[in-house]
Amino acid sequence: MHGLFFDIGLGVGLAAACGLRPFLPLLLAGALGSAKALDVSFPSGSWHFLQAGWWLLAVAVVFALAYVAQILTGFSPIYDPVSREPRRDPLAAALTGLAFGAGAALFGGVLAAHGNAEWPGIVGGFLLVGLAQRVAGPVILGARGRLKEKGPRDALTLYLDSAALLVAALVALLHPLGYVALAALLWLALRRRSRSGEKYAGLRILGR
């Protein structure tokens, strides 16, 4: 699968996956690029590091440390982009920053790999990560708030990683599925916004 349509689909899907959790999409894309499999590659240039052995090792180490930090500290694995309340959660803030960087790098690298301009991928990667986190963040944090035991709360991170890996793997196998992932995120975001509007309208009526 080669061509701008397929490249954009792959970049969209990988960036969306990073918005859920960045580690496994980074590792999968890097491993596929190193093996030159499924038309995923990051040839010599600015983005070649994405498939370099030292980079993949560093991502794996940070991945493991993030799990250890979450278990030991009880910090959240994801930041709530909807709530306006201040949150002092350095782990969530760090992972959010990594997700934005990973999504932008993978989308930009995918476009650059086949001679396309990379800047639209960088911008698009940032936007897609923000969209994915706006959809997933409140759901995960709401579930964590309802679970009383620490074990089940921490297990939610496994679900996030599994979902991110599944999205990344599917778009790597069939690049146009990235457009399906984008459509699903937009639909979920619009649905959440509609529900929030209905809830706010109901509260206004009750307050009269």
Q: Out of 49-53, 56-60, 135-139, 162-166, which region has the weakest mean confidence (pLDDT)?
A: 135-139
Instruction: Tell me if 8 sits within 8 A of 176, measured CB to CB.
Output: no
- Is pLDDT above 60 for 208? no
- Look at 110 and 193; give whichever has higher pLDDT: 110
Q: What is the mean pLDDT of residues 2-15?
A: 93
- Model confidence at 201, in pLDDT bands (50, 70, 90)? very low
Domain boundaries, given as residue ranges, for the chain: 4-207
pLDDT of residue 202: 46
pLDDT digits (tens, 9 = 90+) for 99-123: 999 999 999 999 999 889 999 999 9
- Is pLDDT above 60 for 204? no
Distance of alpha carbon 83 from alpha carbon 90, whole angstroms: 16
